[in-house]
Amino acid sequence: MEKRTPAKNQSHLLSWITLACFAAGAAVGLLWPKLFSYIGFIGTIYINLLKLMALPILICTVFNAAARGIKSASRTLLKTILLFVVLFTTSFLLSGAVYSLLTPGKGFVLTSGEPWSGTTADLSWNGFFDTVFSPNIFASLSGGAMLPCILFAFFAGAVAEKVGAQKLCEIVGELETVFSRMLSYILWLTPLGVFVLMGKCTADFGAGALGGALSYVLYAWGGCILVFLLVMILPLWLFCRIDPITYFRKTGRVLLTALSTCSSAATLPETLRACREEFHVPERVTGVVAPLGCTVHMCGGAVSFCLLALFTAQMTGRPVSVGLFLLMLVFAEALNMAAPGIPGGGIVLGATYLSLLGMPDLGLFLGMYAGIYRLLDMAYTSMNVAGDVTAVLLVNRWEARKKA
């Protein structure tokens, strides 16, 4: 039986309070929406504080993981990338099978709304690599570009281990301890932040403001829940002996933070905390898998791209052959990996994806898509974060079995 320490009891109490505030925020946002026009800034402050801590903790974590054993960290990195590809592909194929059978876009017609006036991003591998291998690490830090920071920290940690820079490793280790303690204080604001963020979300949309877009939102959430159960929960149950109840109990705050912030970066500190404190995964695994997953592993993106492509194809009457479906998968994987180098959010990526597939001008549809994207992003981000936790636990199990 798991022994509960006072700190762990406090953590679980905070999770229950956060859940209550999540529900209360959604209800108050519907009943008293004007309140959140006055206190909405609190949610912004909360997200900014989490993002403020994400990069310093990420850099220290990755540095320490590499410094404590570059060979082990490198092997873990390769296993992680392979697992990311498998999870993303499985999520896309499962979503494709479901949406092909249900045909959500068939007969869907938009007769009103504002067309989307944005522009697509140029998908250039040169641009991607220019961003990833930044010539100025300080510019990457100030711009919040996580992938180049991860690579820099990994390389610096590996070199520190090679040259025996023990004092530097101790300093970075102490910095991580300080940053983690700072984060623990910030996380006590989670109930308030979640309350305001969820309240603002429901206040902005209201109960009946979705109109014809409601079906798209329901298909997106339904696909995410199905993939979550079959691609995230089932493997953990089979291979790691982690039952669904235990998983939800230990990741409750992580998922609530992802739902309310719609940011994998803002949720990263909670992801690291849950993996270390709740699941007791060693830092040499969490320090590599979780930060990398936060940037390039997006199972929610697999559902997002698949639904977007099949929905628009069915809506416009375009047949989807096996070849086209495989092309959808390849482009989705490419955008998923190149996303850190492409400016803009999910709406720009979605428009870019449709453009790559040669879909017709869908300005009105993309206008609807942009309008409801916050509700979609709640599901997609939660899936991305759940995929990161699943990857951490599976890689840890893989490592443990090889050592046994």
Query: What pLDDT is attached to residue 101?
Result: 95
CA distance 333 to 326: 11
Query: What pLDDT is attached to residue 1?
Result: 44
Query: What pLDDT is attached to residue 339?
Result: 62
Domains and CATH numbers, the chain: 6-403 (1.10.3860.10)
CA distance 245 to 145: 35
How does pLDDT run along the chain (404 residues), one tens digit per residue?
Answer: 455 555 555 666 788 888 899 999 989 988 898 999 899 999 999 999 988 888 898 899 889 888 877 777 778 888 888 999 999 999 999 999 999 999 999 888 776 667 777 777 666 666 667 777 788 888 888 877 788 888 899 899 989 988 989 999 999 999 989 998 998 889 889 999 999 998 888 887 765 545 557 889 999 999 999 999 999 999 999 999 999 999 999 999 899 999 888 888 888 888 998 999 999 999 888 988 988 888 777 899 999 999 999 999 999 889 999 999 999 999 898 887 766 545 446 788 888 889 888 887 677 788 888 888 888 999 999 999 999 999 999 999 988 876 65
Specify the pTM: 0.86
Contacts 24+ apart (CB under 8 A), 218-224: 219/99, 219/102, 219/104, 219/307, 219/311, 220/303, 220/304, 220/307, 220/376, 220/379, 220/380, 221/379, 223/95, 223/98, 223/99, 223/303, 223/306, 223/307, 224/300, 224/303, 224/379, 224/380, 224/382, 224/383
Nearest to 36, CA basis, from 267, 271, 202, 285: 202
CA distance 397 to 403: 10
Whether the Cβ atoms of residue 23 and residue 238 lie closer than 8 Å to each other: no
Tallying the residues shown for the chain, one arrives at 404
Report the half-sphere exposure of 356 (CA within 13 A, side-chain side).
Answer: 25
Residue 370 tokens read as 């942009």
Cα Rg of the chain (Å, integer): 21
Q: Which DSSP string corresponds to 323-339?
A: HHHHHHHHHHHHHHHHG
CA distance 183 to 267: 12
Whether the Cβ atoms of residue 237 and residue 120 lie closer than 8 Å to each other: no
Distance of CA 190 to the CA centre of its chain: 18
Residue 197 tokens read as 């963020």
Residue 141 tokens read as 């830090």
The per-type count for the chain, helices as H runs and strands as E runs, is: 17, 0
CA distance 333 to 24: 37
CA distance 56 to 63: 11
